């Protein structure tokens, strides 16, 4: 069981890209998070938010609002919407 959120957001040249976030969960909690097929080392849950990072990117996923945002250590930011797929 799990959920996928496809996300599209700006990159430095104002182009867009699609990323895949896999969230594996059971009846009680989120078990793992993968971004573009790579498992994140650690993540935190704060209500409906999943907070994590990958390389130099800090990522915030709001599962209730189906939105995401990220920050590349202050050098660039991105945001977008998530879509649930099965």
Q: What does the pLDDT average to over 6-33?
A: 75
Per the model's pLDDT, the better-predicted residue between 58 and 7 turns out to be: 58
- pLDDT given for residue 28 in this prediction: 87
- pLDDT given for residue 64 in this prediction: 93
- pLDDT given for residue 8 in this prediction: 47
Cα–Cα dist 74/2, whole Å: 31
Per the model's pLDDT, the better-predicted residue between 85 and 62 turns out to be: 62
When pLDDT is cut at 50, 70 and 90, the band that residue 55 belongs to is: confident
Based on the number of CB atoms within 10 Å of its own CB, is 64 exposed (0-12), middle (13-18) or buried (19 or more)? exposed
The secondary structure of residue 85, as a DSSP letter, is E
Mean confidence (pLDDT) of the chain: 83
| pLDDT above 70: residue 2 | no
Task: Name the pTM for this structure.
Answer: 0.76
């Amino acid at each position: 069981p799990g959920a996928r959120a496809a996300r599209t957001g700006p990159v430095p040249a104002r182009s867009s890209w699609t990323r895949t976030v896999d969230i594996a969960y059971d009846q009680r909690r989120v078990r793992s998070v993968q971004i573009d097929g790579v498992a994140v080392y650690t993540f935190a849950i704060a209500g409906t938010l999943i907070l994590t990072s990958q390389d130099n990117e800090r990522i915030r996923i709001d599962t209730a609002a189906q939105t995401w945002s990220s920050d590349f250590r202050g050098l660039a930011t991105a945001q977008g919407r998530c879509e649930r797929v099965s």
